[in-house]
Structure 1
Amino acid sequence: MTQARPISADAMTLMTYRALPVPAMIALRFAAVVTTWAARRRTRLALAALEPWELDDAGLTPEQASAEASRVFWQA
């Protein structure tokens, strides 16, 4: 299943501007994907470092947190 990736409003505006060259559009899309991947990696590393009481506050079990933290960054 494919999920839509959030793209910032500024990037979306640049990508829809017709005068932007194709290589620039490709570079913007690539930058957006890499930024999304980096955010996922940071979030999953932080999730893996949470204490059990912090996971409980977030409504997660240690098993759920471990499953999410073990996913690779390109998986949504």
Structure 2
Amino acid sequence: MERTLSSDLQFNNPTAQPSSVVLRTLASLSLWQRRIASRHQLARLDARLLADAGISEAQRYEELSKPFWR
């Protein structure tokens, strides 16, 4: 059975470096996950904690209205 070079490099070579596309994808997923978590925390803050952080209700609403990829 014949194997191709690309499949051999991707799946059977433990020393092969991940491609830049894979690294960028993982970086994006990580960033999106952090945004989701921080926006959940922002949503749970009460008025006193928002004031302590210098965040208005309008700013909070604006941030919470954004999709996770922005």
TM-score, structure 2 normalization = 0.70
Letter in structure 1 aligned against 2:65: S
Q: Secondary structure at the match of 1:74?
A: coil
CA deviations over 1:3-59 (Å, ceiling 9, x no partner) = xxxxxxxxxxxxxxxx846xx221111000000011011111110110000000000
Match of 2:46 in 1: 51
* Structure 1 segments (4+ residues) deviating >6 Å: none
The equivalent position to 1:25 in structure 2, one of 20, 24, 46, is 20
Which ranges of structure 2 fall in alignment gaps of 5 or more residues? 1-15
Larger radius of gyration: 2
Q: Quick one: percent identity of the two aligned structures?
A: 36
Supply the distance in 2 between the matched residues of 1:26 and 1:64 (Cα, whole angstroms). 34
Over the aligned positions, Cα root-mean-square deviation in angstroms equals 1.5
Partner of 1:14: none
User: Which residue of the partner structure matches residue 67 of structure 1?
Assistant: 62
Counterpart-to-counterpart distance in 2, 1:63 and 1:52: 12
Name structure 1 gaps, 5 residues minimum.
Answer: 1-18
- What is the aligned length? 55
Alpha-carbon distance in 1 for matches of 2:21, 2:43? 33
